[in-house]
Amino acid sequence: MKSKPNIAIIDDSRLKRKFLTEILKGHFTVHAFSSSAEALPRLAGIKPQCILLDMERPGEDGLEDIRRIKASPDIAEVPVIFITSFSDGSFEKRALESGAVDFVGNKFSQEIILARVKSHTELYAYRHHLEDRVRKNTQTIFDLQDAIMMALSELVECRDSNTAGHAQRTRDYVERLVRQLISDGSYVDVLTDGYVRDIVRAAPLHDIGKVGVRDAVLNKPGRLSDEEFEEMKRHTIFGAMSINKAMKVVHDSSFLSVLRDISLSHHERWDGSGYPLGLSGERIPLSGRIMAIADVYDALVSKRPYKDPLSHEQAVDIIRQGVGSHFDPLVGAAFLACADDFQEISRRHRG
């Protein structure tokens, strides 16, 4: 059997609380309180779908109660209907501006109060149903996009046989590094939930531009010549150009913007000696500065045709020496604080 919606009544009059309860109890589970001091700490646990609030209680400010309800994340969206004997239109206006959705006078009929409460609880329930469907559909889209991102990154790695597993490892490095930056209080104005989601999802595709590099260069079993290295460096440009084209046909391109920045700037250096644009300091997008450490660490501890893998300790020491020249000082400090986790991630994916 479907449970009745919860509603809350806040009224100092015992008789009025009883009267309202009798009107509403056939349709709702009623929680009645004599004061806001008693009610407000308990409302989040009750999860009401409507609040009936008497505006004329001794020692309590009804307008302030509405503002407190609207400032509480757990109950901010709950509709508040205020009950008042005031006939002053300006008071009603202030109450509605404070966040109430409706009001009734003290001389209300049973039919009117029941109809208004039912109307607002049904609207509240319907809105939450729609929001829940949007959340589920949005998560499905994100899951599908993540799957596409990983498939594309694996296609890139199919062309570059020297970097198997690099995309997934760097994704996990980036996620750990971002969590450390937030814990350190660094760049928290940039590292919003949306930005963090985008950078973690974009990380596996940081080398997407390698699809534009010749196989002979991409899979050369040895060190590249100067000319070949110049061609390899162009993968940053190829990636950014292809993503720019995609951005022209997408209305919300926040994710693609982060992906473009990572693709273009993950080989830039803090001191300006990197490529392809020679950017320095905070002119380098934060996503590129974060990706740089993840990319370099994985390259150092991985076997390549031209080198054997370095130990974790050697890789950490090289990155430590590069902080402030190759790497952003704050991102470098975050790496050093969680370097042991990088080692564990590397072991897990090579396991």
Task: Write down the domain spans for the chain.
Answer: 6-130, 160-350
Question: What b/e string do you get for 65-97 counting C-beta neighbours within 10 Å, with b at 16 or more?
Answer: bbebbbeeeebeebbbbbbbebeeeebbeebee
The CATH classification number of 160-350 equals: 1.10.3210.10
Phi, psi of 61 (to 5 degrees): -105, 110
Distances (CA, A) of 278 to 241, 274, 282, 284, 320: 17, 5, 12, 9, 21
Host H or E run for residue 288: helix 286-301
Say if pTM beats, i.e. exceeds, 0.75.
Answer: no
The CATH number of 6-130, from 3.40.50.2000, 1.10.1270.20, 3.40.50.2300, 3.60.10.10, is 3.40.50.2300
Tell me which residue of 115, 137, 117 sits closest to 125, measured CA to CA.
117
> What does the alpha-carbon distance between residue 97 and residue 100 come to, in Å, rounded to a whole number?
7
> What does the alpha-carbon distance between residue 100 and residue 165 come to, in Å, rounded to a whole number?
55
Report the interhelical angle of 62-71 vs 36-46 (nearest 10°).
30
| Tens of each residue's pLDDT in the chain, 351 residues | 568 889 999 988 888 889 889 989 989 999 999 988 898 899 989 999 999 988 878 778 888 888 888 888 888 889 998 887 666 667 777 777 777 888 777 666 788 888 888 888 888 888 887 877 877 776 776 676 666 666 666 666 665 555 557 888 999 999 999 999 999 999 999 999 999 999 998 998 888 888 788 878 877 777 888 898 888 899 899 888 988 888 887 766 788 899 999 999 999 999 999 999 999 999 999 999 999 999 999 999 988 777 789 999 999 999 999 999 999 999 999 999 999 999 999 988 765
